[in-house]
Amino acid sequence: MMEHIGRRLRIGVIGGGTGSFIGPVHRIAARLDGKFDLVAAALSSNPQRGRDEGRRLGFPDDRVYGSWRELIAQESQREDGIDVVAVMTPNDSHFEICTAALDAGLHIICDKPLTTDVSSARELAAKVRASGAEFCVTYCYSGYPMVRQARDMVRAGELGAIRQVQLQYVQGNLAEPVPSTGWRMQADRVGGSLVLLDIATHAFHLGAYVCGQDVESLCADVGATRPGGEVDDYVATLMRYGNGARGSLWVTNAAAGSEHGLSFRIHGDKGGLEWYQEEPNRLLHRRAGGFDQVLTRRLDPAMSPGALRSTRVALGHPEGYLEAFANLYEEFAEVVAARLQGERSSPDGDLFPGVIDGVKGLLIVDAAQRSARSGRWERVEAP
């Protein structure tokens, strides 16, 4: 579809400057497939620091802006203005920035969480639908080839009826005392619960993406395990999915010695699948009444369509986090290009997470917080 518009998409980035982990990831992902030109930037809430950083990174002087408001206002007036804006700012700014971008007619790639509460998430989703814009929420682990292999296998019925889902995301970066000056350590800026909004939403989305079912109710324990912890660093939940499947989740960023620890184990009545993000190119298929099978990422017709679509290099050359992130950018580019051509949809629109996935994340967070307070099972509202 990109060839039909005769150029790369023009993208502006908001946030992700000096000291940011995710900013360079977004910029690499946007460049990897040659479908975007990075042409504009507002990289910091400090205007001078943002301009200095933009020039250091090679953005044109006249398109390095002191604020996101300036970027959106001026780019919307240019004949060669941006088509897409990528938002990688603190959680509490997503709603305002995305709303302004939609008003300016832009398509949006936004870091998770979508917003900081259910009400604003639903309002933003309604605005996306009314505007006709394309919207991607960067639940980036859905971009791995073997995650998509698992999803396709579930859809094809190879696991049978899904019965159990186990999700984990076990990090250790908060096990030791950390400075409390960053925005992630401020509950009001995060959206209430750091562990739920920062990483648990990834795990919840990954489970739903692969098994094809949403969580309908849950019972959650949420809190801080570090003495004097000022933010939530632990959540464990029991879950019930829409088809009756049972599940469990353990997510923490305060497990001393752990690195990343994102994984799923999903079982149906015919077998199960296991995947670990620290070994992303391997998927274990446990078959009832048969031998276990280790599936590896490879350019091979035996792979599922979703996995083949997402695989970049030949057998024996590993792919990882940056490539998975870039898959979302590449697929989003094709959908936006189709929209610019006046087409309503593209096959790639089913692969990357959209605005409704962002709303679902906030609904699960809301249910988990309610459950932690009540000590009871709570329903997850429909989006």
The band of 122, judged by pLDDT with boundaries at 50, 70 and 90, is very high
Is residue 3 very low, low, confident or very high in pLDDT (cuts 50, 70, 90)? Answer: low
Percent of the chain with pLDDT over 90: 81
What pLDDT score was predicted for residue 317? 83
pLDDT tens digits, one per residue of 234-269: 999 999 999 999 999 999 999 999 999 999 999 999
| Structural domains of the chain, ranges and CATH numbers in brackets | 2-140+326-354 (3.40.50.720), 144-314+361-379 (3.30.360.10)
Residue 349 has pLDDT above 80, yes or no: no
Q: How far is CA 83 from CA 25, 37, 104, 120, 337, in A?
A: 20, 10, 10, 24, 10
Mean pLDDT (the chain, rounded): 93
As a whole-number percent, the residues of the chain with pLDDT over 70 amount to: 95
pLDDT level of residue 178 (50, 70, 90 thresholds) = low
Q: What is the pLDDT of residues 278-330, one digit of tens each?
A: 999 999 999 998 899 999 988 777 889 999 889 988 777 888 999 999 999 99
Supply the pLDDT for residue 315: 72
Indicate the pTM of the whole model: 0.94
The answer to whether residue 346 scores a pLDDT higher than 60 is: no
Tell which residue, 180, 196, 174, has the closest CA to residue 91. Answer: 196
Judged against a pLDDT cut of 90, whether residue 120 lies above it is answered with: yes
From 92-96, 176-180, 285-289, the region with the lowest mean pLDDT: 176-180
Confidence label for 177 from pLDDT (cuts 50, 70 and 90): confident
Residue 336: predicted pLDDT:
95
Q: What is the mean pLDDT of residues 148-177?
A: 95
> Quick one: residue 328, left, alpha or beta (phi over 0 = left, psi -120 to 50 = alpha)?
alpha
Which residues have a Cβ under 8 Å from the Cβ of 156 and sit 6 or more positions away? 304
Q: What is the pLDDT of residue 302?
A: 82
CA-based end-to-end distance of the chain? 31
For the segment 11-26, the average pLDDT, to the nearest whole number, is 93
Residue 185, CB-side half-sphere exposure with 13 Å CA sphere: 11
- The partner residues of 234 in beta bridges, in order of sequence, read 223, 252
pLDDT for the residue 259: 92
Q: Give the model's pLDDT for residue 189.
A: 76
Q: What is the pLDDT of residue 345?
A: 60
Rounded distance between C-alpha atoms, residue 293 and residue 238, angstroms: 29
- pLDDT range class, residue 2, cuts 50, 70, 90: low
- In tens, the pLDDT along 38-91 reads 999 999 999 999 999 999 999 999 999 999 999 999 999 999 999 999 999 999
Question: Which pLDDT score, from 0 to 100, does residue 179 have?
Answer: 61
β-partners of residue 134 are: none
Query: What is the enclosing helix (H) or strand (E) of 332?
Result: helix 321-340
Distance CA 195, CA 170 (A): 10
Tell me the β-bridge partners of 262: 169
Tell me how far apart the alpha carbons of residues 8 and 379 are, in angstroms, rounded to a whole number: 44
